[in-house]
Amino acid sequence: MRITVAAVQAAPVYLNLAASLAKAETLIGQAAAQGAQLVVFPETWLPGYPAWLDCCRDVNLWDSAPVKQVYRRLAENSVVVPGPETEALAAAARAHGVVLNMSVHERVLVGPGRGTLYNSMLTFGPDGALLHHHRKLMPTYTERLVWGQGDGRSLHAVDTPIGRVGGLICWEHWMPQARHVLHTSGEDIHVAAWPQVKEMNLVASRHYAFEGRCFVVACGAIMHARDLPAELEPAGALRDNPDALVLNGGSVIIGPDGAILAGPVYDVETILTAEIDLARIPEEQMAMDVTGHYARPDVFGPTGPH
C-alpha cells in the first residue's frame, strides 16, 4: 500500500487555544490538498510547547506570581478530552478524510478534585472517530512543573485505513520498554512528536525506525522568542532578539531501514510530505525483526535464562 504522510511544521498561536485550533484546521486542509492521508502535528501543538520552562528566567522560583499566571493561562487554554476542541478536530479529519495525529495540553475535568494537566497525543480516524489517546508517561525535567504522569494503557498501535499507527512523545523514545511494547503492537507508521527535532532527537527517530522496522514521521514546531509569555523574562540573548528561534522545526520522514525519505527542514513553517510504501516493511524485516526472529523468547521470555 502506498500512502502520503505529512508533518506539519508550524507555530501555533501560543497560549491561545481558539486561534491555534483555527490555524490547525487550515493546515489540515492544506496538507490534505497536498495528498496527505496522515497529518501529524508536533508535541503539545495546542496551544504550544512550554519552551518558557527552559528559555525564561526564574521559572522554578517557589510561589512566583508571573509563573503562576502563565500556568493559569496554559490551563485555561488546554484541551478537554472529549470536548469542543476534540469535536472540531474530529470534524476536520472527517471533512478531509485523513488520519489526524494532534498533540495537546490536556486538562482533566472529570473525577475527584480538579485533575491536572497532561501532555497528550490524540489520533483521529478519517471518519472522525477518536482512535487513540496517549498521555506522556514521564514529563522530562522541567516539564514536571506543569504535567502529570501518564500510564501505560495507551502503549499500542491502532488500526486505521492506512495501516497500524502508533506514537510516542519526545523523550519516551529513550525508554526501551516503551519502544518495545509499541514494536510488539505491530506499528506500520510511528509518530514521533517533538518540540523540535534537534540532532539527538533525529538520532532517536532514525533509531526507532530501524529498530521497529516501521516508517517514522518525526514532527517539530517553530517558535520565536516573541512568542514567549509576556509575564516572563527571556534568558540570555533571547531577551534582545524577538525574532530568534526558540524552536526550529527539523521535521523529517524516515523509512523502515532508518534512511531519511524527506527533510529534515529547519527554521521555516512548512508541510513536509512523502509517499511511503508499506510493502517495504516486510522486506526490511528479513534482516532484523525485534518482535520476530530477533525476539528470542527462549532467552528474554519469562521462562528464559535471565
pLDDT of amino acid 111? 62
**Rounded Cα gap, residues 100 and 88, in angstroms:** 12
Q: Which of 25, 43, 85, 187 is catalytic?
A: 43
pLDDT of amino acid 71? 94
Q: Show the CA angle centred on residue 124, arms to residues 122 and 130, nearest 5°.
A: 80
pLDDT band at 96 (very low <50, low <70, confident <90, very high): very high
CB 272 within 8 A of CB 6: yes
Average pLDDT in the 61-83 region? Answer: 93
pLDDT tens per residue, range 230-272: 898 888 778 888 889 999 999 999 999 999 999 999 999 999 9
Average pLDDT in the 65-83 region? Answer: 94
Using left for φ > 0, alpha for ψ between -120 and 50, and beta otherwise, residue 81 falls in beta
**Rounded Cα gap, residues 77 and 67, in angstroms:** 15
pLDDT of amino acid 239? 81
State yes or no: pLDDT of 306 exceeds 60.
no
pLDDT of amino acid 238? 84
Closest C-alpha among 220, 197, 193 to residue 123: 193
Write the single-letter amino acid at 224.
Answer: H
Closest C-alpha among 174, 107, 114 to residue 138: 174
Residue 23: count other Cβ atoms within 10 Å of its Cβ: 18
Cα 246 to Cα 21, 53, 142, 198, 239, distances in angstroms = 21, 12, 16, 12, 11
The CATH code that applies to domain 2-300 is 3.60.110.10
3-state DSSP call for residue 112? Answer: coil
Q: Cell triple for residue 282?
A: 516486510
In sequence order, the 6+-apart residues with CB closer than 8 A to the CB of 274 are 4, 5, 253, 261, 262
Average pLDDT, the chain: 94
State yes or no: pLDDT of 94 exceeds 90.
yes
pLDDT of amino acid 305? 61
Of 34-38, 83-87, 300-304, give the lowest mean pLDDT range: 300-304
pLDDT tens per residue, range 155-213: 999 999 999 999 999 999 999 999 999 999 999 999 999 999 999 999 999 999 999 99
Write phi, then psi, for 116 (nearest 5 degrees).
-155, -175
**Rounded Cα gap, residues 50 and 67, in angstroms:** 12
Closest C-alpha among 262, 278, 259 to residue 270: 262
pLDDT of amino acid 300? 79
The residues facing 167 across adjacent strands are 191
pLDDT of amino acid 110? 65
pLDDT of amino acid 303? 66
Provide, rounded to the nearest whole percent, the portion of the chain with pLDDT above 90.
80
pLDDT of amino acid 137? 96
Q: Is 43 a catalytic residue?
A: yes
